[in-house]
Structure 1
Amino acid sequence: MLFFASLACLVRVTNGFIWIYMTAVFMWRIRARKPLLEGFILDSIVTGLLALFLTFVLDTLYYGRATLTPFNFLRTNLSAVSLFYGSNPWHFYLSQALPILCTTALPFVTHGIWLGVTSPHSNHLKVLIGLSCWTIGIYSLAGHKEWRFIHPLLPIFHICAAKSLVDCSPKTKDGEKLPLPRRVLGFLLINVPVSAYIILLYCSGPISVMTYVRSLPVEVTRSGVGFLMPCHSTPGHAYLHRPQLAQGELWALGCEPPLQNQDLATYTDQTTVFFSDPYHYLIDRFPSIVNPSFPKSPYPASTPSSSPSQAVQSWRHEWPMHLVFFGSLLERKGVRHLLEERGYKEVWHGGRPWEGDGEERKGGVKVWRWTTGAGSRLNGL
């Protein structure tokens, strides 16, 4: 158990909150067995130190300098930097995250928790319920919250829902349980078509465009692909796997957090700067004409180590052969005309115009490609 606990904490440090609770419960239960308790504490210390040492060695070999990524993770996320990605009220996990995770099973989860707390014969379930309350309580102390942070608790919620359904299912006179009533089963199954729609259809454009880019010939992708999108709009790392794009041929707008102690109230990342005035960004930071040899962009996005002045002043791009963006960008003043003037035309689109979180992600996903002989440096000579 200790090996898997240490491995889970190294993969994601916040898993430590779960194992702190479970370890405390176990130690309390064996408190009267002193040799077992002392042995467990010793094994925990040795396993933890060995895991940290192994992580330190691997991180140092990878980064080329003394590094311990769990420490860096905690230092960054416990600072105000996490608030750069948004803050939420204290009740976020109760009022928003739990309904998202449990969906139509939420009433049964709530009832199952009540049964587990009030039943004198549900000690194991009480531990799991306590773990859920502890974890949600700890996460609620942070300003930045996301529903995915409590996703590891979902199996526990399913157990609670199952207890509710089993305990409340109708029985015969002999005590045998009958199948669930159709209305209950139908209520639970509402989640199936909704999930299928969200997984297969809703906002499918950002995934489909990755398939399209991956299908482009190697010589075409070497001419450059630029993403004029808000950060994290496409699952690039999970879908592309194209070595020829690893040396700067593909770039996207950055959204690096203020790691250099900048003021959160005034700090703006590259994505924010671009969407505040995309037309002037394209005019000021791209060449006036397209170079048909498509050289790499000298500084297309910020890096975490950028100084405050460098991050704002040094973004410089070259026009790539392909531009990927959401359709709403074309509705911004002057953008469509500028791209057409530079010689770009639409070659692919996916998704539906009304989908997307926020105006910047609406309009579907579009790919525009530069066409030979329009807006090029050769034309200007």
Structure 2
Amino acid sequence: MPPRSPSDSATATITRRTGSPRRSDSFSDYRESRLGIFVLLLGLRIVNALTLRTFFQPDEYFQSLEPAWQLAFGQQSHAWITWEWRTQLRTSLHPGLFAVVYQVAAKLAHICDFGLPVQAQLFIAAPKVVQAVFAALLDCYTWKLAESTYGKGSRTAFTALALSICSPWQWFCSTRTLSNCLETTLTSIAVYYWPWQWPEPRLKSASAADARGSQTQSNKPIAGKESLGPLPRLRLSLLLAAFACILRPTNLLIWLTISFPTLWNASSRQRYILIREVFLCGSAVIGCSLLSDRFYYQVWTFPPLRFLYFNIVQSLAVFYGRNRPDYYLTEGLPLLLTTALPFAVVGFWQALFQHGQPPSISQTPTPSDDPKSAPASQSSNQQDAVSNRILSRLAWTCITLTASLTLISHKEVRFLYPILSFLHILSARPLASFFSVPIPPSRRAILTACLLINLAIAGYASQVHQRGVIDVMDYLRQKHESRLIQNESGSPSKGITTTTVGFLMPCHSTPWRSHLVYPSISAWALSCEPPLYIPLSSRSTYLDEADQFYVSPGPVPWLEAHMASLQTITASGSRSGRHWANMDPGFRKEQHGKSEWPMELVFFEALEEELRRYLKGTRYKECWRGFNSHWHDDGRRTGDVVVWCLDG
């Protein structure tokens, strides 16, 4: 006899007490349990966000928090605005969200009269907490979509939730302020609200369904007894899908795969409704995007089209790296799934080639000669058909997105992130079956090993690997805070209130103003602008500033050509780079002349020996060193992060 699910137990308890199940009480209890689970997920993800100490992708800062910082505090805040924003490649909707978060945090800091260190920590934590809400919603809607597939309260649905919670990739990535993370959450919610019960004779309103009583209950969507009617559900799905496509145009591949079969199999009435709602919802979101971008860029523009033009037509994405054609199969999917990979393979096979098998393993229909059981049996068959439809469509969506992105030379694991919840749902059935209760000792050992492996990967990736580039920003900010506090009100007349910092690192190796916070920390770093207006035939020889710095014979020729004479920083030198105050990092060099040496130099350990030889005899001394990584695929980023300061 299969194990009873939590929903079965609750219903049985009510039946024993009253003689018959009370649907309203059971539904109310179920909604409360859902809310309780979401609260737990939210607490988990907030802890996840606030304890994350490592660096992953520059886009986490430069494509969201930096433009948001400028939106919230103006150009005088000296956020670093990259070339994508100057060429209108990105929608302002995503940073606009975090700009509101920064403004709320600033108001709160002003009202509560927080001190400088607390204000800075609030500005750093606020976007993380907001992103934690989206991460919790992703976990929650992965579970809800699994319930739509495997049945409410089913053990298999809870297995999908457990996969999401225990996923190292989720712990490492879901609370970061990448557009891919918001895209993934929006996609998962939109897929949950998609009309999976179609085709049906017509789209019924929620009120008509309620009037039909128990007969209608069997025809309701498998997604659950929601207060939201079918048409509002469809509109919500389309609105969220449209926003996801505006954020990342490649998300359109997911919705083409999901919507075309629905449109093909739908009745004429349903086709009319779907096309009408796509037009209305799409127009509303595009209009919202146009107005937002008009406000941000001060011109009428449509970033998704420019994004496709620059990255595909002009092939600028290749400037940031090429990957093998098998990258997503040999690296991408294994990194996303880790120990769940074997179960995902089995889940794909079952979804694509075993349509007749009921997906739920914890709820088995009980045969009966009672004629009253016929409607229940018919309802069960309908639910199985919808469940198989969902699984098959999710599998094909994963295949379509992976295959399509494989055709693009520039590949990253995060580009596949929107399908991770689908992969967890596909993995849930074979995983729950493999570890069926009671779990044999041998399989219990396998389960324990899988959990320990996931825990080790999540811990190392989120707490150890590439943490130095985050820690150094805290060191620089806190050192600057101590200067301001020592000078009481921070008035320039009372002492040094400006810190100058130079980052001799590959471009975008650290966060920027979102972690430096104070505009009086005047910093610059090596840039890596792509060859925007250089013909394709000439791009093979193009070197950005960071490439020029590292190219053979090393950084010394670049330093001699771009930095002031070393005589200015010897024991007898007098200048210390204080004149940098409030200089935009994009305009580091003086128009005529060379840059002054900063008060702090930041670089990776791999560069230490060359700088030691070049700066020998100057007033630079090591003042901070922090562990960054045990290994790195970029040799320029190996070793510790080191800070040298001008003494005195």
Which residue of 1 is the match for residue 49 of structure 2?
none
Match of residue 205, structure 1, among 468, 474, 477: 468
Deviation of 1:148 after TM superposition, in Å, equals 0.9
Match of residue 184, structure 1, among 432, 441, 446: 446
Query: Which digits, 9 at most, give the CA deviation of each residue in 1:56-83, with x for residues without a partner?
Result: 2221221122222222211111122111
Deviation of 1:271 after TM superposition, in Å, equals 0.5
Cα distance in 1 for partners of 2:413, 2:274 equals: 33
The structure number with the bigger radius of gyration is: 2
Aligned residue identity for 1:210: M
CA RMSD of aligned residues (A): 2.5
Which residue of 1 is the match for residue 622 of structure 2?
346
Deviation of 1:90 after TM superposition, in Å, equals 1.8
Query: Which digits, 9 at most, give the CA deviation of each residue in 1:169-195, with x for residues without a partner?
Result: 45xxxxxx4236223203321121122
Higher helix share: 2
Kindly, what percent of the aligned residue pairs are identical?
Answer: 33
1:267 aligns with 2:533: no
Aligned residue identity for 2:307: F
User: Structure 1 stretches of 5 or more lacking a match?
Assistant: 171-176, 304-309, 373-381
Cα distance in 2 for partners of 1:126, 1:161 equals: 13
Aligned residue identity for 2:444: R
Which residue of 2 is the match for residue 16 of structure 1?
252
Map 1:228-377 to 2 at 5 A.
228-245=504-521, 249-262=522-535, 263-276=538-551, 277-288=554-565, 289-290=568-569, 291-296=575-580, 316-332=594-610, 335-351=611-627, 354-372=630-648
Structure 1's 207 and 352: CA in aligned 2 closer, same or farther, altered over 3 A? closer
Query: Which digits, 9 at most, give the CA deviation of each residue in 1:319-345, with x for residues without a partner?
Result: 11111110111123xx21333433111
Question: Which piece of structure 1 moves more, 14-23 or 362-371?
Answer: 14-23
Query: Which digits, 9 at most, give the CA deviation of each residue in 1:306-329, with x for residues without a partner?
Result: xxxx9xx99952211111110111
Cα distance in 2 for partners of 1:70, 1:165 equals: 39
Aligned residue identity for 2:349: W
Deviation of 1:265 after TM superposition, in Å, equals 0.6
Structure 1's 119 and 221: CA in aligned 2 closer, same or farther, altered over 3 A? farther
Deviation of 1:229 after TM superposition, in Å, equals 0.6
How many residues get paired? Answer: 351
Structure 1's 362 and 55: CA in aligned 2 closer, same or farther, altered over 3 A? same
Match of residue 135, structure 1, among 393, 401, 404: 401
Structure 1's 58 and 348: CA in aligned 2 closer, same or farther, altered over 3 A? same
**TM-score by structure 1 length?**
0.85
SS of equivalent to 1:14? helix
Q: Is the 8 A contact 1:300 1:315 kept in 2?
A: no
Which residue of 1 is the match for residue 319 of structure 2?
84
Q: Is the 8 A contact 2:505 2:602 kept in 1?
A: yes
Which residue of 2 is the match for residue 173 of structure 1?
none
Cα distance in 2 for partners of 1:363, 1:193 equals: 21
Match of residue 166, structure 1, among 432, 450, 453: 432
Cα distance in 2 for partners of 1:340, 1:53 equals: 59
SS of equivalent to 1:347? strand
Cα distance in 2 for partners of 1:128, 1:266 equals: 43
Structure 1's 352 and 88: CA in aligned 2 closer, same or farther, altered over 3 A? closer
Deviation of 1:253 after TM superposition, in Å, equals 0.6
Deviation of 1:358 after TM superposition, in Å, equals 2.2
* Runs of at least 4 residues off by over 4 Å: 218-221, 297-303, 313-316
Q: Is the 8 A contact 1:203 1:355 kept in 2?
A: no
Structure 1's 317 and 17: CA in aligned 2 closer, same or farther, altered over 3 A? farther
Aligned residue identity for 2:595: H
Match of residue 294, structure 2, among 57, 60, 67: 60
SS of equivalent to 2:644? strand
Deviation of 1:301 after TM superposition, in Å, equals 5.2
Structure 1's 314 and 66: CA in aligned 2 closer, same or farther, altered over 3 A? farther
SS of equivalent to 1:217? helix
Cα distance in 2 for partners of 1:193, 1:8 equals: 32
Structure 1's 327 and 301: CA in aligned 2 closer, same or farther, altered over 3 A? farther
Cα distance in 2 for partners of 1:15, 1:200 equals: 31
Which residue of 2 is the match for residue 94 of structure 1?
329
Q: Is the 8 A contact 1:223 1:295 kept in 2?
A: no
Aligned residue identity for 1:29: N
Cα distance in 1 for partners of 2:303, 2:616 equals: 46
Cα distance in 1 for partners of 2:324, 2:622 equals: 42
Which residue of 1 is the match for residue 261 of structure 2?
25
Q: Is the 8 A contact 1:256 1:302 kept in 2?
A: no
User: Structure 2 stretches of 5 or more lacking a match?
Assistant: 1-236, 357-387, 485-495, 570-574
Question: Which piece of structure 1 moves more, 219-228 or 293-302?
Answer: 293-302
Deviation of 1:286 after TM superposition, in Å, equals 0.5
Q: Is the 8 A contact 1:300 1:317 kept in 2?
A: no
Q: Is the 8 A contact 1:299 1:314 kept in 2?
A: no
Aligned residue identity for 1:270: E
Query: Which digits, 9 at most, give the CA deviation of each residue in 1:280-319, with x for residues without a partner?
Result: 211110010242252239896589xxxxxx9xx9995221
Q: Is the 8 A contact 2:465 2:630 kept in 1?
A: no
Query: Which digits, 9 at most, give the CA deviation of each residue in 1:203-250, with x for residues without a partner?
Result: 2211111211221225567231111111232233543333334xxx11
Structure 1's 198 and 226: CA in aligned 2 closer, same or farther, altered over 3 A? same
Cα distance in 1 for partners of 2:644, 2:560 equals: 18
SS of equivalent to 2:300? coil
Aligned residue identity for 1:58: S
